[in-house]
Amino acid sequence: MSFSAAPSSMSPGTLYVVATPIGNLDDISARALKVLAEVSLIAAEDTRHSARLMQHFGIATPLAACHEHNERAEGSRFIARLQAGENVALISDAGTPLISDPGYHLVRQARAAGIAVVPVPGACALIAALSAAGLPSDRFIFEGFLPAKAVGRRARLEQVREEPRTLIFYEAPHRILESLEDMRAVFGEERPALLARELSKTFETLKGLPLGELCAWVAADSNQQRGECVVLVAGWQAPEGEEAVSAEALRVLDLLLAELPLKRAAALAAEITGVRKNLLYQVALERQK
């Protein structure tokens, strides 16, 4: 594989999306080091931060800023160099670019321009946390960072309260306790969860507890409110009997029962909500008692 920096008028260059370590520098791959050393330019989220990483590995490739504030406006200059035949690497401050980090707009522009985009896989905090969490990993949903304000955060959590897949969130250390408390309020005290903190770093912590206990544990130890945090929450499991019917389905059923015969109300509620008619009929019988 060649990463020649020499411009070519024959064909465009390649945009390499390169994962960098999230903590332990030994996690960088040999392929990533080769790409970073041989491309013409590295588009970095924070050039000062990435300069230290490049210096550590003896890489002298020039760096240019590509962050959330300039990505859309400055993307054209990277595209121009790629179209001139130069190869460019995209990196974030840590982990895989685009995963709650800048890069989406540059990748989108490159693909729209017919430029090859090649991933160079490596560290990713959400995947690292999931691999060691002991929660179902066959299906999961990544929600990124929750809203900073409590009202927005609660609203977002309510949207995924009955999500059956394992939930994964990123959170800032100064909000981790507030977020866990909101998760406990929305998901319940007993919902299994795990806090993965400072992954691959000296003070790495992976603590799995029901949300009620996890909140208490974090509140009691200020050290657990520091560093980069990933929170994983077990997916919702449908209860049995009347509890198996969602609050919204019960609301619809009650409205219909007030206006229609029981059998007709259950049938219509089933059409509206998708809940089994027989189950709604049984629930309706119980509620009319």
Residue 7: inside a domain, yes or no?
no
Residues 153 and 57 placed together within one structural domain of the fold: no
Element (H, E) at 34: helix 30-38
Residue 195: inside a domain, yes or no?
yes
Residues 23 and 104 placed together within one structural domain of the fold: yes
User: Average model confidence (pLDDT) for the chain?
Assistant: 92
Residue 191 token pair: 């919902």
Domain boundary among 123, 140, 157: 123
Phi, psi of 126 (to 5 degrees): -65, -40
Distance, CA of 108 to CA of 97 (rounded, Å): 13
Residues 31 and 55 placed together within one structural domain of the fold: yes
Residue 5: inside a domain, yes or no?
no
Instruction: Determine the pLDDT at residue 115.
Output: 97
Domain boundary among 73, 100, 123: 123
Residues 186 and 271 placed together within one structural domain of the fold: no
Query: Which CATH number covers residue 65?
Result: 3.40.1010.10
Residues 53 and 80 placed together within one structural domain of the fold: yes
Residue 162: inside a domain, yes or no?
yes
Domain boundary among 123, 153, 172: 123
Q: What is the DSSP letter of 258?
A: T
Indicate if the pLDDT at residue 254 is higher than 60.
Answer: yes
Give the pLDDT confidence of 157-183 residue by residue, as tens digits: 999 998 999 999 999 999 999 999 999
Q: What total number of domains does the chain contain?
A: 3
Give the pLDDT confidence of 123-136 residue by residue, as tens digits: 999 999 999 999 99
Average pLDDT (237-266) is 82
Instruction: Determine the pLDDT at residue 8.
Output: 47
The residue range of the domain holding 40 is 14-123
Residues 30 and 108 placed together within one structural domain of the fold: yes
* Sheet architecture: strand order including 14-18: 63-65, 41-44, 88-91, 14-18, 116-120
Residue 9: inside a domain, yes or no?
no
Instruction: Determine the pLDDT at residue 17.
Output: 98
How many alpha carbons lie under 13 Å from residue 82 in its C-beta half-sphere?
25
Residues 104 and 45 placed together within one structural domain of the fold: yes
Residues 74 and 133 placed together within one structural domain of the fold: no
Please state, as a whole number, how many other Cβ atoms lie within 10 Å of the Cβ of residue 187.
Answer: 24
Burial class of residue 100 (count of CB atoms within 10 Å of its CB; 0-12, 13-18, 19+)? middle
Query: Which CATH number covers residue 217?
Result: 3.30.950.10
Indicate if the pLDDT at residue 195 is higher than 50.
Answer: yes
